[in-house]
Structure 1
Amino acid sequence: MFVRTENFKSFIHYYPVVSLIILIQTIIFIWTAFTFLPYSSELLNNGIGTNLYIAYGEYWRLVTPIFFHGSFGHLFFNSFSLILFGPALEQILGKTRFIIGYLGAGIIANVAVYLLEALNYSHLGASGSIFGLFGIYVYMVYLRKDLIDSSNSQIVLTILVIGLVMTFISPGVSILGHIFGLIGGLLLAPPLLSKR
């Protein structure tokens, strides 16, 4: 389920949504990392989640931070997590439901960060959406055992525990973003997995 044996071409063919998300966030990272590119700083300044600007009505900032990353390591870790844990869910849910789950969990996380953090708080990254995928998997582990076997359930729970521990001990991490991304995935799982 989580072992990737596809070559590059077949991965794109079988998992187009995961591939597209990785492509978009990579292009955005390159564009914003090289400040000599046109509109580089404007793109970054208008894309990150800044609570004050959201309060002023810039509601797109509840979505756009999902695709922005602050460093290559940040981008790499989130893309690697998506490559490992996204394909199986894209196959189980289908393209449309996967997009709803991924973006929905990220938006839920960003709304929570907006409501619970200070107005001067800013954030970016796909971690809320990644934790949302784990929320869907956790729902499967406990309430839809027909969709995941015991060995993969063990992998999910182990990685989730490691992720949660790292959330609380790593500096600069949006703890609320991670926690509410996970909660968002759990909330979205029942309708997304219905009739699957």
Structure 2
Amino acid sequence: MFVRTENPSTFFRLYPIVSFLVLIHIVFFLIFLIPGSFSNNLLKALIGFNLVIFKGEYWRLITPLFLHVHLVHMLVNSVSLILFGPALEKILGKWRFFLAYIGGGILANIATLFLAPPMYTHLGASGAVFSLFGIYSYLAFFHQHIIQRPHAHIIFAILLIGFVVTLTGANLNIIAHFFGFLSGAIIAPFIASHPNPYHP
């Protein structure tokens, strides 16, 4: 379920939403590598910034989900999406998966908006990625014919590692990570009550 053996062409064909999301990560990361005012101004216009969101720039609840300025940050989120996104894209279907991913990320950013200081800024897909584990957790408990015990063990082990890193790492949006997971678990009964059978 979580081992990827497809070549890039097959992966793009089988998992178009995951591929599209990862491609956006890479494109924005490359844009931000370009020196100059354009990339700086674009980052300033799209980054999550609580103060200006309260003033009406609500697009900043969505756009940070696609932004990364550090290579390791981008790679961790993109690789996590590549490993754990495809099975859910098949189980939920393309558009339910997309809505769940974006919805979980937005809810994580809304939690950040209300629980972090007004001058707090943030970016990254981590909240949306953690929402996937919230959905997996729901499936592991209520649809064990789809998420079997060995896979559930992997999910909960990765989730535990993710929370430990969240609590011990530096400059991480702890609020988005925890509320991303909770958001996925809350969304799951509405979008995963009748999941598709998973066939690798």
- Give TM class, smaller chain: over 0.9
The two structures, once aligned, show a CA RMSD in angstroms of 0.9
Task: Supply the distance in 2 between the matched residues of 1:3 and 1:190 (Cα, whole angstroms).
Answer: 26
My pick for the range that moved more, 99-108 or 143-152, is 143-152
| Residue pairs, 1:49-128, within 5 angstroms | 49-128=48-127
Task: Supply the distance in 1 between the matched residues of 2:27 and 2:104 (Cα, whole angstroms).
Answer: 22
- The equivalent of 1:2 in structure 2 is 2
Q: What is the Cα deviation at residue 62 of structure 1?
A: 0.3
Task: Supply the distance in 1 between the matched residues of 2:30 and 2:90 (Cα, whole angstroms).
Answer: 29
My pick for the range that moved more, 76-85 or 25-34, is 25-34
Q: What is the Cα deviation at residue 28 of structure 1?
A: 0.7
Task: Supply the distance in 2 between the matched residues of 1:49 and 1:146 (Cα, whole angstroms).
Answer: 39
Letter in 1 for 2:190: P
Q: What is the Cα deviation at residue 71 of structure 1?
A: 0.1
Q: What is the Cα deviation at residue 118 of structure 1?
A: 0.5
Letter in 1 for 2:172: V
How many residues are matched? 195
Q: What is the Cα deviation at residue 70 of structure 1?
A: 2.5
Q: What is the Cα deviation at residue 74 of structure 1?
A: 0.4
Letter in 2 for 1:43: L
Q: Deviations over 1:104-130 (max 9, x none)?
A: 000000000000111000000000000
Task: Supply the distance in 1 between the matched residues of 2:104 and 2:135 (Cα, whole angstroms).
Answer: 10
**5+ long unaligned stretches in structure 2:** 196-200
What percentage of residue pairs aligned between the two structures are identical?
46
- Secondary structure of the 2:68 match is coil
Q: What is the Cα deviation at residue 93 of structure 1?
A: 0.5
- Secondary structure of the 2:145 match is helix
Letter in 2 for 1:6: E
| Residue pairs, 1:1-196, within 5 angstroms | 1-36=1-36, 39-196=38-195
**5+ long unaligned stretches in structure 1:** none
Q: What is the Cα deviation at residue 146 of structure 1?
A: 2.0
Q: What is the Cα deviation at residue 183 of structure 1?
A: 0.4
My pick for the range that moved more, 38-47 or 109-118, is 38-47
Q: What is the Cα deviation at residue 147 of structure 1?
A: 1.6
Q: Deviations over 1:54-105 (max 9, x none)?
A: 0110000000000001301100000000000000000001111001110000
Task: Supply the distance in 2 between the matched residues of 1:105 and 1:35 (Cα, whole angstroms).
Answer: 32
Letter in 2 for 1:10: T
